[in-house]
């Protein structure tokens, strides 16, 4: 049933596969990324994408949802070959057993999952628009942060607040006794993926771990300086972090202003970061950044407006989490015959 469709030699370049509208395109390179979709057009793709054409007894969207299940993504990943660039072979994919309820039942299941997934997509789109709104508010109030058309006073970031690196004299993964349940420990990945506010963490120091580190207060702006460069998040609880993260402290509205200001510069800072084993920047670079500095009352007004936007985002995030849980439940029940 999982019929991969390579183009015959001589019809197209040998590195290409042909697909038609309604075929399933399955990304066999790094299958843990779950790159699986149904195109609405005909075309060709590289050999790292497997076109799957279903028979008349299979609904394509039913099969699409089946293949996207987390358990099936894990199945594919476990059967991939290659350490650095794991790939799933067409022969391996063809061995996958697929449940086949009657075609009308397949279509009903696919419609239920499509509807729930569409609701999740709308929530994500709303969140993206709120992210754009944050930057729009900044530009409306202060102008372009690079061109500074409103001629705000310029200062260095180091003069606006206090910047210091996090502290971790020993790597926790090499010293299990440093870890515990007492003192939150935030890593660079959690800053980079925080969406502006660090609400939780998965690691904690013990009292011994804290003694070789430093705890920063809630309200500190965390700025990554290695791997993920100039990504930011405001701590919503007291926490420690390693020296791959810099803490910026100032009054709350200035912290919020700097967070959004840095979001405009992040890609530029990352692109200009020197690279040895990995890209990184240092305190001197951050402290020397030139920042337009509007009057404090405007920064206060900006922070209030961003707080209201953040409250809307929190509501959308909560609704999205509920939809994600609902979709996972429906997905699981659908392929156990319980939907």
Query: Please, what is the Cα angle at 228 between 222 and 230, to 5 degrees?
Result: 50
9 vs 146, more confident: 146
**Pairing mode, strands 228-235 and 196-198:** parallel
pLDDT digits (tens, 9 = 90+) for 92-105: 888 888 888 999 99
**pLDDT of the residue at 250:** 96
Handedness of CA 187, 193, 196, 198 (dihedral sign): negative
Written as six digits, the tokens of 236 are 């919503």
**pLDDT of the residue at 1:** 41
**pLDDT of the residue at 279:** 59
| Stretch (H or E) spanning 240 | strand 239-240
Res 240 pLDDT > 90: yes
**pLDDT of the residue at 179:** 87
**pLDDT of the residue at 84:** 83
In the chain the domains, ranked by start, together with CATH numbers, are: 3-99 (3.90.220.20), 101-150+294-339 (1.10.287), 153-293 (3.90.220.20)
Predicted confidence band at 270 (pLDDT cuts at 50, 70, 90)? confident
**Which candidate, 227, 157, 219, 218, places its Cα nearest to that of 187?**
227
pLDDT digits (tens, 9 = 90+) for 282-338: 888 899 999 999 999 999 999 999 999 988 988 998 999 999 999 999 999 999 888
pLDDT digits (tens, 9 = 90+) for 285-297: 899 999 999 999 9
> Residue 288 and residue 267: Cα distance in Å, rounded?
17
Res 5 pLDDT > 80: no
Res 208 pLDDT > 50: yes
**pLDDT of the residue at 276:** 55
pLDDT digits (tens, 9 = 90+) for 155-182: 999 999 999 998 877 776 667 788 888 8
**pLDDT of the residue at 11:** 33
**pLDDT of the residue at 174:** 67
Average pLDDT of the chain to the nearest whole number: 88
pLDDT digits (tens, 9 = 90+) for 70-85: 999 999 999 999 878 8
């Amino acid at each position: 049933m999982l019929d991969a469709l390579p183009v015959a030699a001589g019809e197209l370049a040998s590195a290409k596969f042909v697909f038609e509208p309604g075929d399933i395109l399955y990304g066999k390179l790094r299958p843990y990324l779950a790159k699986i979709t149904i195109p609405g057009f005909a075309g060709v793709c590289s050999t790292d994408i497997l076109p799957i054409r279903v028979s008349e007894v299979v609904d394509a969207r039913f099969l699409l949802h089946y293949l996207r299940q987390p358990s099936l993504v894990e199945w594919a990943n476990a059967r991939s070959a290659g350490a650095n660039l794991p790939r799933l072979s067409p022969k391996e994919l063809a061995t996958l057993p697929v449940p086949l309820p009657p075609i009308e039942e397949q279509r009903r299941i696919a419609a239920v999952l499509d509807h729930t997934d569409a609701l999740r997509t709308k929530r994500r789109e709303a969140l993206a628009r709120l992210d754009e709104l944050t930057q729009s508010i900044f530009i409306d109030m202060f102008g372009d942060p690079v061109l500074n058309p409103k001629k705000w006073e310029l200062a260095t970031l180091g003069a606006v607040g206090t910047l210091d690196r996090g502290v971790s004299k020993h790597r926790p993964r090499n010293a299990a006794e440093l870890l515990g349940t007492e003192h939150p420990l935030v890593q660079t990945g959690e800053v980079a993926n925080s969406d502006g506010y660090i609400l939780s963490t998965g690691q904690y120091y013990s009292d011994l771990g804290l003694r070789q580190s430093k705890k920063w207060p809630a309200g500190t702006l965390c700025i990554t300086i290695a791997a993920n460069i100039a990504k930011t998040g405001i701590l919503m609880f007291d926490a420690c972090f390693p020296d791959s993260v810099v803490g910026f402290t100032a009054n709350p509205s200035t912290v919020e202003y700097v967070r959004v200001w840095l979001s405009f510069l992040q890609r530029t800072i990352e692109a200009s970061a020197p690279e040895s084993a990995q890209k990184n920047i240092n305190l001197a670079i951050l402290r020397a950044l030139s920042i337009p500095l509007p009057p404090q009352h405007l920064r206060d007004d900006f922070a209030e407006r961003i707080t209201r936007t953040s409250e809307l985002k929190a509501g959308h995030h909560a609704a999205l989490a509920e939809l994600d849980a609902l979709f996972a439940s429906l997905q699981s029940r659908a392929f156990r015959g319980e939907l």
